[in-house]
Amino acid sequence: MGEQDTSIKTTEAVRDRLRALAKERGTTMNHVLEDLVQRELTAEEREQRAQLALEEVRQATGVTVSDQARAQARAFLKDLGRERYAS
């Protein structure tokens, strides 16, 4: 059984932007939305990827990253994001 279409309420500005992106890419608004939501990770998915990456680091180097080091890295990356949007 195929997937069924549904409707999403949004603003005209968002709809117009989706339409412009779809036209530019030679595709549909649905495909643009699909692409966007596939790229965006949930918090759970980000955590799973982080755990996998930490395990790969441990296996490759024998180093186990501490919770403290992980928290420091998160704070550093968060600050980088703030700097990016402050400019």
* 8 A C-beta contact, residue 22 and residue 29: yes
Residues whose CB is less than 8 angstroms from the CB of residue 22 and which lie 6 or more positions away in sequence, other chains included: 28, 29, 31, 32
Q: For residue 25, give the DSSP letter.
A: H
The model's confidence at residue 80, banded by pLDDT at 50, 70 and 90, is confident
- Residue 84 predicted with pLDDT over 70: no
pTM: 0.59
Q: Which two tokens stand for residue 26?
A: 């030679």
Q: Where are the domains of the chain?
A: 10-40, 43-86
Predicted pLDDT of residue 64: 93
Question: Each residue of 37-73: pLDDT tens digit?
Answer: 999 999 899 889 989 999 999 999 999 999 999 899 8
CA angle, residues 24, 27, 32, in degrees to nearest 5? 85
**Distance separating alpha carbons of residues 18 and 85, to the nearest angstrom:** 23
